[in-house]
A and B are shown apart, each in its own frame.
Chain A
């Protein structure tokens, strides 16, 4: 079964959706959309570094994504305005990554695979990384769930209950870096944020508690992957963007549902 590239692609899409559902919900609640973008863009720099130093791509993207998350957190904590910091760092990292890749000698690198994903080329080892990483993220979020929700709701409320908001923010940054490393193969660095946000906001319209929204986002994300991949096969369109478009269609339908 795993020998069929299309089945592998479906499994990869659903696996990533399991991680982006709950994490994407936090991205939406905490208004971290551009934070997610910056972390994802930094991954291109990670690709260049990984190729140059013969490291696995996933490791390179994980490290640069994590570094970006920590730098942004540190700068905003010192009182820099969040959006301008992100504007500088997100695009700076993307541009630096593109420049750095051009310096990598020898092999010509297919940039579009990293910018827009290459889900149809997912191998068995990629699947292992994706499902392992998704399990790690879900376990991490489940462990910190109550504290994370409390911090997201109100920082002072968290302090009064003995919860350290900085530590919980670090958990989210870490999870975000892992998601970027997983999802870059599926939708590429430019569209990872879409995979985080679209399923979560779509699930919002029928949710009454944070938990329902997070699990609903997993379902919506998985559905978008399946629909997008089939559409891509049917109409011969690029797979990653097709998944995002399918998610967008589901979002529009959810708006009508709400009325």
Chain B
């Protein structure tokens, strides 16, 4: 049985359906990436899966007692709330100093436990969010645009970390990607979302799918930039175009030389 499954799921905010008839399931050990333009319902789907939104139609089924580690899209810490990294890791369950130190070491930010969350850099912050998610011994890791604000080597490093974690603990990984053209090569499935599921399959299949091209423009020429282990150096030296936009643009056709 899959960890979590949406059956014929529709979600609407006051009339307008944001998601229509979405069928989705993720298994243990599987990495699934969701891509889609702004307003395509990516975050809505994640929220509905987490139980934060009541579907207007259909249902979400979870494995009973499913432990979810969630890495939110952004976490705006109100300046009025003091929060050290160590304290944050103990939310909602208390964690020993040893476990905290171990998990921070694991995600590559070993010496930040005493710092305030607000004092961390973007990359450190994402890793601390991941560390907290890992402390719940998750069966399913849910990451909503985890690489937003990271530079390209940062993204590559983060994706590699996710892969290692998956290999270590064998959890399912559900990830929303903000960059249509940069998807983890190790994704078992890519789901292209635009209110409904346009197409899905392995990264190479989706990048060639006509639905994907229709949605994101022919200009992309179907180019995914696939990050892989031996592929974490910067290919885009001197590349000036902005990767952060969600609209279609010319992606540099990258060759995977791994």
Contact = CB atoms under 8 A, between A and B. Distances in A.
A210 B81 contact: yes
Contact of B77 (A150, A153, A155, A201): A153
Given A146-B91, A146-B93, A150-B91, A156 B82 contact: no
A154 B76 CA distance: 8
Given A160-B142, A208-B84, A153 B50 contact: no
Contacts of A211: 87
A147 B92 contact: yes
Contacts of A147: 92
A209 B70 contact: no
Interface string A179-222: 00000000000000000000001001001111111000000000
Given A156-B72, A157-B72, A160-B142, A212 B136 contact: no
B80 A157 contact: no
A169 to B, nearest CB: 14
Nearest to B80: A28
Contacts of B69: 160
Interface residues of B, number: 27
Nearest to A200: B80
Q: How many interface residues does chain A have, given as a range?
A: 20 to 34
Interface in B181-239: none
A155 B73 CA distance: 12
B198 to A, nearest CB: 25
Contacts of A162: 51
Given A210-B82, A213-B82, A157 B75 contact: yes
Interface of B: 46-47, 50-52, 68-70, 72, 75, 77-78, 80-84, 87-88, 91-94, 116, 136, 142, 144
